[in-house]
Amino acid sequence: MIDQVGNVPAQFFYAHEETAFAWRALDADWDIDHRAGLVLRHPRTPASRHAVYHRNTGRNRVWLAKRHLPAALVPMYLTSWAATHCSSAPAGWAAVLVGRILRGVRPACPARRPRRWRTVWRMTRLGRPPVLQPSPG
């Protein structure tokens, strides 16, 4: 599958690269097999990492939309993401979200390779339309 859909671009590091990979796999007509019983254990990380986490998560969320969605869906995806995060942490949300979004808009993201509309429809039928965000959690 990696040979067919490609690996993750080096700049797209730290957050949402698995989503980008899954979207590319679906676009190449691969199936995704969800295994709810599998457990992934992540080592503890220092709290100082959180600044990097927030910066890269916001930037990569914008890059995910800019790089992989049809242009008409990018504003809806980012609006949904912003609304979801604003409702979960209303205090200071504006400054945080604007900073996160600007980090994704200003620097050039990896080459644009939008998914086909057929893939958007397939994702929607699978219960994960690419314009609605799950609650953070």
Contact indicator for 62, 120 with CB cutoff of 8 Å: no
Helices (H), 35-134: 50-68, 74-88, 93-105, 117-125
Tokens, residue 63: 């890059």
Cα distances from 91 to residues 87, 96, 98, 103, in angstroms, run 9, 10, 14, 20
Contact indicator for 123, 24 with CB cutoff of 8 Å: no
Predicted confidence (pLDDT) per residue in 3-42, tens digit:
999 888 777 777 788 888 889 999 999 998 878 888 888 7
pTM attached to this predicted model: 0.75
